[in-house]
Each structure stands twice: as structure tokens, then as C-alpha cells.
Amino acid sequence: MLGSIIVAVSILKKNIVTRNIIFGIFLSALVLLGCSKSYLTESAKTPSEIVQMAQLAVGEVQNFTFELVHKKGYIDLGNGLNLIHAHGYTSQNDFEIHTESTLGRSLIKSDAVVIGGRTWITNPITGKWSEIPSDDSPINFLDPTVLIKNILSDLSNLQLLGEDESVYEVSAETYSDSFESLVGLVKTGNKIKIEMKINKLSNYLEQVTINGQIQLNDDDDFERVIYFSKYNQAKILTPPTEND
């Protein structure tokens, strides 16, 4: 009798252990399935949808900061002056910008402020401000607000290169004409490749890498990177004075 009880208890324990194992496997499967569904939902957005959301987000932007870096190349400003780096802040059609250019072997640093169609620029030698006619400005073509909208327009061959927790990486083809508000005169109708980083939470464009010829004398391997940040963080732009 005692032996029968021991056998019964042993069988019962085995059944309980087996049920616990099965239940654990079942729970694990549910967790994995839930994670899988979440991942698929996140990745289900097409490159076109990602860009469309970025277009909507940028359309509501009032101001932002920007930075232009040349991995290779420059922007030809004319008269031997080549822009290699710039960063600044823009609010609607007004902006301030800090530039670095080369003239021969010389590095020239200069600042500019554009407010209400008026332009002030620093003398690269003395650092003193002076107002100049807008048409005389070497960067009178620059318009960051127009630029960021044009970047997201007229795109083709969109591809999702990858994503992480914070950004989508999307590649596309576009035309050099989209960058007229960055470089001025462009090589019209030239197709180039770009890669964009778009924030998942805000849908803001954070970075664009531009490869190829934008200006007429660009080399095929010119590479420019533009960074956008601090969206809708307003600050007041004021005209500089000659004493600044």
C-alpha cells in the first residue's frame, strides 16, 4: 500500500513539473510573439511613408539650427572663394550663419546675419560688422528654410537602409536643382544620391548626406553632409551694430 502511494506521489510530481515546463514554454512563446509583432509593426512603414511624415513635420517647423560639413569638396562662391564649413540658426526667412572658406591657401572666417531682407556681414580681417546690399552678399542664395523642404521633395528610388531605436536611414535619388538654396548656381537636372536620417519620434530630418555633382565644376565624388537640430527652439535675431 505504501509503495503504491509513493509511486502515485512520484507520478503526480512529474505531471506538475511537466505542466510547469509546458506553461513556461507557452509564456515564452507569447512573449516572443508579442515582441515579433511589435518589431514588425515598427518596421512596416515604407520609405515613402517615412518621408511623407518628415515632409509634414518640416512643414510646421518655425526655426532650427543647421551645419554644413564637406567630407570632400566645397561650395564655389566665385572669385576663388570656396565655402568648406558653415553653421547657424534660421527662423523663417531670417538667419545667422558662421562660415569658413578658403581663398588660395588662406582660411577665411566670416559671419552674416539676414533679417527682413537686409544683410550684415563681418569683415574677415577686422571682424567688424557692416550692412551690405543683399545682391553683394556671397551667400545671397542661401535659404535654409527652403532648403530643408526641397530636400524632401522630388525624391525617387526610396530605400530603407536600416533603423535603430531613434532614427530611420533612408536613401533616395534626387536632382541637383533641389540644392539651389544651398549652393546657388547648380548643374541643372543632374541626378544625385542622398542618404537621410529621420527621427522616429518627431519625424524631423536630422541629417542628409549628398553625393555627387551639384555645381557645374563639382567632382563626382564630392560629399556634403548637412545636420539639422534644435527644431522650434526660438531665439531672437537682432541686427548687429558696427561696434559689435
Q: How far apart are CA 139 and CA 81, in angstroms?
A: 11
Average pLDDT over residues 1-25: 47
pTM score: 0.81
pLDDT, tens digit, 9 for 90 and up, residues 206-238: 999 999 999 999 999 999 999 999 999 999 999
Listed residue (171, 131, 145) closest to 88, CA to CA:
145
Share of the chain above pLDDT 90, in %: 78
pLDDT band at 42 (very low <50, low <70, confident <90, very high): low
Listed residue (162, 198, 161, 176) closest to 52, CA to CA:
198
Strand segments, DSSP code E, in 9-92 are 63-72, 75-78, 81-91
Listed residue (93, 188, 187, 80) closest to 138, CA to CA:
80
Q: How far apart are the first and last CA of the chain?
A: 104
Burial class (CB in 10 A: 0-12, 13-18, 19+), 187: middle
pLDDT band at 17 (very low <50, low <70, confident <90, very high): very low
How confident is the prediction for the chain on average, in pLDDT?
Answer: 87
User: In the structure grid, which three cell numbers stand for residue 164, read together?
Assistant: 535603430
Average pLDDT over residues 56-61: 95
Confidence check: pLDDT of 23 > 60: no
Higher pLDDT, 20 or 119: 119
Share of the chain above pLDDT 70, in %: 81
Q: How far apart are CA 35 and CA 57, in angstroms?
A: 28
How does DSSP assign 205-226, residue by residue?
Answer: EEEEEEES--STT--TT-EEEE
| pLDDT (0 to 100) of residue 93 | 86
Hunting for cell 572658406 — which residue is that? Answer: 101
